[in-house]
Amino acid sequence: MGEMGRRHAENLRRNVLEARLVAIADASEERARQVATELEVDNFYSSLEAMLENKEIEAVLIATPDKFHAQAVATAAQAGRDILCEKPLALNMADAHAAIWEVAKAKRRLQVGFMRRYDPAYGAAMKRIEAGEIGIPVIFKSVGRDKDQPPITAYETNVNGMIFYTNTIHDFDLARWLMQDEVASVHSSTTSAIRPEVTKYGDVVASVVNLQYRKGAIGNVESYAQAVYGYDVRTEIVGSKGSIFVGNLERMPAVFLTAGGGQHALADHFLSRFADAYLEEVRDFVKTMLSGRAPLVSGDDGLKALAIAVAAEKSHLQSKSVAVTLD
């Protein structure tokens, strides 16, 4: 029930009429109790295992720190529940494969939380790409910059992955989805020059990852953990007939003009920029559970985006291009 879990819980409790939020869990029982009280949820638990003993629960949304995603997926699947898991699916390929195997064994369904696919702008871009309006995709370019630097304690806890897993993996998913192709290899360049203390925790402040696609296209993804000026996410897909540009710096489509000049309202956080996407994501998950169809964003999507992140980390450590594999 951290920042992300709380948002999902609020959406399920208040904005998804087809779902009923039965219970919440947090390693801190006091926090679980507090959020349950605020959201008027009857049941709260201090562990996933205890919560899964509640027979009313049909599906589980996992929003733990990254390190615990794969095991939580496996545990929920073994208990016979369908699952929506926040990204990344895991922090290594072995854990991801093990989690997916448990889901398949239990004959359950797994959706991975790449919410940008539910953002109206990205959805509109994908429809135009599928319609052939820009021809054959040739170049993928994406920028992802968080506004505020994470506190050093966020690195010290060692419960989340480095920047490729916490930030860039969204861009890696878009790189596959929008280009309608798989990434064959990557080459990473990174820096922590303005905050060298994060390097002892195996992380970096900024990165640029160059992509080479199987069918010959190329790409470039930039991530930055502390842009200061705002939360900035932009993507461009250049094709043989044209280009599509998604995203801008504005939180709302308005420019304020005064005697002092023009002002733009900048997005300051991912929860405000992608508020609609997060809601549509859980709505679609619930509809999937009720309809019996397969998730639109599957465990396989989570696995393939993770493979790019793993290759990007290897490239960062080895200072060379690395092939993307599902091993």
Q: Is 280 among the domain residues?
A: no
Domain boundary among 72, 88, 115: 115
Q: Which residue has the tokens 């640029």?
A: 208
Write the CATH number for 214: 3.30.360.10
The closest of 155, 201, 142, 177 to 296, measured between CA atoms, is 177
Domain-embedded: residue 287: no
**Which of 115, 149, 164 is at the close of a domain?**
115
Q: Are residues 132 and 225 in the same domain?
A: yes
My answer on whether 186 and 311 are in the same domain is yes
> In this structure, which long-range contacts are made by residues 95-99, counting pairs with CB atoms below 8 Å and at least 24 apart in sequence?
95/70, 95/71, 96/70, 96/302, 96/303, 96/306, 97/303, 98/70, 98/74, 99/69, 99/70, 99/71, 99/73, 99/74, 99/299
Residues 180 and 136 in one domain: yes
Instruction: Check residue 254 and give its pLDDT.
Output: 38
Instruction: Give the domain-ending residue among 68, 96, 115.
Output: 115
Please give the model's pTM, rounded to 2 decimal places: 0.93
Is 155 among the domain residues? Answer: yes
pLDDT tens track for 152-170: 999 999 999 999 999 999 9
Q: What confidence score (pLDDT) does residue 292 get?
A: 86
Answer whether residue 282 is part of any domain. Answer: no
One domain, residues 9 and 87:
yes
pLDDT at residue number 230: 83
253 in a domain, yes or no?
A: yes
47: in domain: yes
If asked whether residues 28 and 103 sit together in one domain, one would say yes
Find the CATH number of the domain harbouring 50. Answer: 3.40.50.720
Q: Give the separation between CA 61 and CA 83, rounded to whole angstroms.
A: 6
Low-confidence stretches of the chain (pLDDT < 70) are 248-271
Is the residue at 212 inside a domain?
Answer: yes
**What is the domain count for the chain?**
2
Co-location of 256 and 313 in the same domain: yes
Please give the pLDDT value at position 274: 87
| 271 burial level (CB within 10 Å; 0-12, 13-18, 19+) | middle
* 178/313 same-domain check: yes
Residues 315, 216 within the same domain: yes
Q: Do 152 and 170 have their domain in common?
A: yes
| Same domain (yes/no): 141, 104 | no
205 and 71, same domain (yes or no):
no
Domain range for 173 is 121-274+299-323
In this structure, is residue 163 part of a structural domain?
Answer: yes
> What is the spatial distance between Cα 173 and Cα 41, in angstroms, rounded to a whole number?
33
276-285 pLDDT, tens digit per residue, is 999 999 999 9
Same domain, 92 and 144: no
